[in-house]
Amino acid sequence: MNPLAFLEGEVAALRAQHLYRGLRVLGSAQGPEVEVDGRRVVSLSSNDYLGLTQHPRLRAAALAAVAEFGVGSGAVRTIAGTLTMHEALEAELAEFKGVPAALTFQSGFTANTGLIPTITGDGDLIVSDSLNHASIIDGIRLSKAARKVYPHADIAALAEILQEAAGRYRLVLVVTDAVFSMDGDIAPLPAIVDAAEAAGAAVLVDDAHGSGVLGRHGRGTVDHFGLTGRVHIQVGTLSKAVGALGGYVAGPVALREMLTQRARPFLFSTSHPPAVVAACREALRVMQDEPELGERLWANTRRFKAELAGLGFDTGRSETPITPVLMGDPATAMRFSDRLLDQGVFAQPVVFPTVALDQARIRTIVTAAHTDDQLDAALAAFAAVGQELGLTTSRGTA
Ligand code: PMP
């Protein structure tokens, strides 16, 4: 008897509900055009906001690091896996964020799951937006703190929870994505910070999709709102706009120190290889030296959003380069994505459990690397498939 036989049934059930997602395999480098199933197609599915995954300066920095330091770091940070370059990157990240200290993690995901249970526990309260990222949710699950979830971006509900909590906990920690990864909307950070300050609560902002995209030279959403110094903790990723891999926590020195003592992914999982660290450091310099990348990202974003809306698609509440095209039903989103691919456009569907069952969508992200011709081709494909599947008419909304 096969004790894992139940898995086959579960997979079959997912397929029957149109919730099984096959992995799309790229036969080429990441970029505005990629090879899928042997064909070159325009990609709208990466988080490579500034095109840095392929930037010559990052490639050169990574190669030089391999030549000098080899391929692996060989140990966890707390044993023998901290090189000078790891600490240099952290100092540069702290400066980039305008805060005293930063600590890197293997990914943005492990930054959240390492951070949240380290700084909260019995006697604390975590207050979390209902659409926060899975890594925040898992970080909260790993904590012994009490938790309350407020409806997405609902400041009145948040303020009510905070008022009720005042004085009853050692720490009240408000946690929010800065840019929501499936809808592309920006958290109302000024109001969140005001509400938290009024109640003596701390604020943790996960800026995975805002760093490199918003703020001066891509410093992020906190900088964009002029809130530096009023947000206690920022989490960032090195895997999206920065173009490589990793995550970090930025904030006070004592926070960094505590994380080096207790954050489990930091203590128990091997540190970044040299090539990754070198590429991340170079990315921060490129963001400083080449503001035109951010300008191009936003020009492409404005154009793509306006034209998608003009075609009659529902793009929800997005304010950033993440533009969802809402469809509701998972089968439609899957079919739409397949038909786009037939037309030379790679745009992945997002279905349950990443979004609610009736909130299936195609999620698009334009980057600084997309040319006008590539965006033209993508928009033409959306127009054709929208009409074919009856989501839009030739004149706009159906
Ligand atoms: N937080 C948010 C809001 C994200 O969107 C993501 C990426 N999906 C992460 C954290 C995780 O980042 P990483 O890919 O570096 O693990």
pLDDT of residue 369: 98
Q: Is the CB of 46 under 6 A from ligand 1?
A: no
Q: What one-letter code names the amino acid at 197?
A: E
What proportion of the chain, given as a percentage, has pLDDT over 90? 94
Mean of all residue pLDDT scores within the chain: 96
The verdict on the CB of residue 211 being under 6 Å from ligand 1 is no
Whats the size of the chain, residue-wise? 398
128 is catalytic: no
Q: Does 73 participate in catalysis according to the annotation?
A: no
CA distances from 147 to 176, 210, 231, 307 (A): 13, 25, 20, 41
- The 10 Å Cβ neighbour count of residue 248 is 26
Per the residue annotation, which of 43, 128, 181, 318 is the catalytic one? 181
Q: Is 177 in the pocket of ligand 1 (CB under 6 A)?
A: yes
Task: Tell how far the Cα of 209 is from the centroid of ligand 1, in angstroms.
Answer: 8
Written as one string, the DSSP assignment of 137-192 is HHHHHTS-SEEEEE-TT-HHHHHHHHHHHTTSSS-EEEEEESB-TTT-PBP-HHHH
Distance between Cα 315 and ligand 1 center (Å): 22
* Beta bridge partner(s), residue 173: 126, 202
Looking at the chain, the whole-number percentage of residues with pLDDT higher than 70 is 98
Determine whether the shortest distance from the Cβ of 272 to ligand 1 is under 6 A: no
**Residue from 47, 113, 133, 138 to probe ligand 1 pocket by mutation (most atoms less than 8 Å from CB):** 133
How many angstroms separate the alpha carbon of residue 172 from the centre of ligand 1?
23
> Do the strands 349-350 and 360-365 form a parallel or antiparallel pair, or are they unpaired?
antiparallel
Q: What is the pTM of this model?
A: 0.95
Say what the pLDDT of residue 21 is: 83
At residue 303's C-alpha, the angle toward residues 328 and 374, to 5°, is 90
Whether 232 is a known active-site residue: answer no
Determine the Cα–Cα distance for residues 172 and 382; give it in Å rounded to an integer. Answer: 45
Q: Would you state the pLDDT for residue 398?
A: 45
